[in-house]
Amino acid sequence: MVVRYSVADDTDRVFHALSDATRRDIVKRTMKNEQSVSTLAGYYPMSFAAVQKHVAVLQDAGLVVKRRHGREQRVRGNVHTVRRAARVLEQLEMVWRGRIDRMGDLLAEDRKGDTR
């Protein structure tokens, strides 16, 4: 059976991955430069296995790319996925800005109609 993911599923995975502070920090660190999983594990008060799980969630969401370099697993941030998430947030911001503008228009109309 072939499982197909929709764009919404991909977006949900990205924002789920970013909902955790440790994972957000891993993305920030790996956007600056590629790092090994063992180096990343040194930054956090958790086991190596726990950091590996965080990296796996990020990789599944497309936020990081992992590659083998000798005996190390190297991780780097994926700017394309981060930009895609930023576009989703920008679209949501545009919706809310439109609503705020419309509320301002309604208030202005209400003030014009109020002739006390």
Q: Are 60 and 13 spatial neighbours (Cβ–Cβ below 8 Å)?
A: yes
Element (H, E) at 64: strand 64-69
Looking at residues 74-85, what average pLDDT do you find?
Answer: 96
* pTM confidence score: 0.76
Q: Are 23 and 57 spatial neighbours (Cβ–Cβ below 8 Å)?
A: yes
Looking at residues 80-106, what average pLDDT do you find?
Answer: 86
Q: What is the pLDDT of residues 38-65, one digit of tens each?
A: 999 999 999 999 999 999 999 999 999 9
- CATH placement of domain 7-113: 1.10.10.10
Owner of token pair 């909902």: 19
